[in-house]
Amino acid sequence: MRHYKLTNQERAASGFTDQFVIDGSELTAAATTQTIALTTLTSAVVDDLVVVRLDEKLTGGGGTIKVEIGTAADPDYNVALTADLKAGAVGLLHKSADTANRCGTVYSTSTAINAKFTSSSGNFSATTQTGQVSVFMRVINSDDLKYGTA
């Protein structure tokens, strides 16, 4: 998994601060689910608009492949996809449908934000995975809000 802090220009254009890129080749668990840690947050706020973009269709495994974005305690808190990442349209954006009444989540203690992939049938390690998924988030760390010393 690759983590990019977006530039000021990218932040202004997209509204997001971070991009996480997950390649299909990283889905190697000998199981129908695999969790990939995106980041661990302490003293941070995550905007509830988290977007998953299918950059390249995933292959391998069996059946459909879906992803959830959230914590270990609530894996689909930010995004619970119903779209299949093997058959979905490349470039399509997915977000959570239940964020209408939220204004962001505050993480005051160390909390891992994960991407949990699920295959409807067949282990991920059964065949070589290809494809790519990007996760975009707006993360505000307390260090980003330091006072000036003028």
Would residue 73 count as lying in a domain? Answer: yes
Helices (H), the chain: 8-14
Q: How far apart are CA 85 and CA 124, in angstroms?
A: 13
Cα 116 from chain centre: 8
Would residue 125 count as lying in a domain? Answer: yes
pLDDT tens-digit profile of 49-78?
A: 889 999 999 987 778 999 999 888 888 888
In this structure, what CATH number is given to the domain that contains residue 129? 2.60.120
What integer pLDDT is reported at residue 56 of this predicted model?
A: 95
Residue-by-residue pLDDT tens, the chain, 150 positions: 999 999 999 999 999 999 999 999 999 888 889 999 999 988 888 887 889 999 999 987 778 999 999 888 888 888 888 888 988 889 887 776 555 545 677 888 889 999 999 988 888 876 668 899 999 999 988 877 776 655
Would residue 146 count as lying in a domain? Answer: no
What integer pLDDT is reported at residue 1 of this predicted model?
A: 94
- Average pLDDT across the chain, whole number: 85
The sheet with strand 33-41 has its strands ordered as 33-41, 111-121, 62-70, 79-80
Q: How far apart are CA 149 and CA 147, in angstroms?
A: 7
Buried b (16+ CB within 10 A) or exposed e, 57-84: bbebbeebbbbbbbbeeebbbbbbbebe
- Which pairs count as long-range contacts for 1-10, CB under 8 Å and 24+ apart, including other chains? 1/26, 1/36, 1/37, 1/38, 1/115, 3/38, 3/39
| Residue 103: both structure tokens together | 């204004």
Number of domains in the chain: 1
Residue 35 phi/psi, 5-degree rounding, is -110, 130
Give the number of other CB atoms < 10 A from CB of residue 24: 23
Helix, strand, coil abundance in the chain, percent, nearest 5: 10, 45, 45
Would residue 147 count as lying in a domain? Answer: no
Range(s) of the domain holding residue 85: 2-141
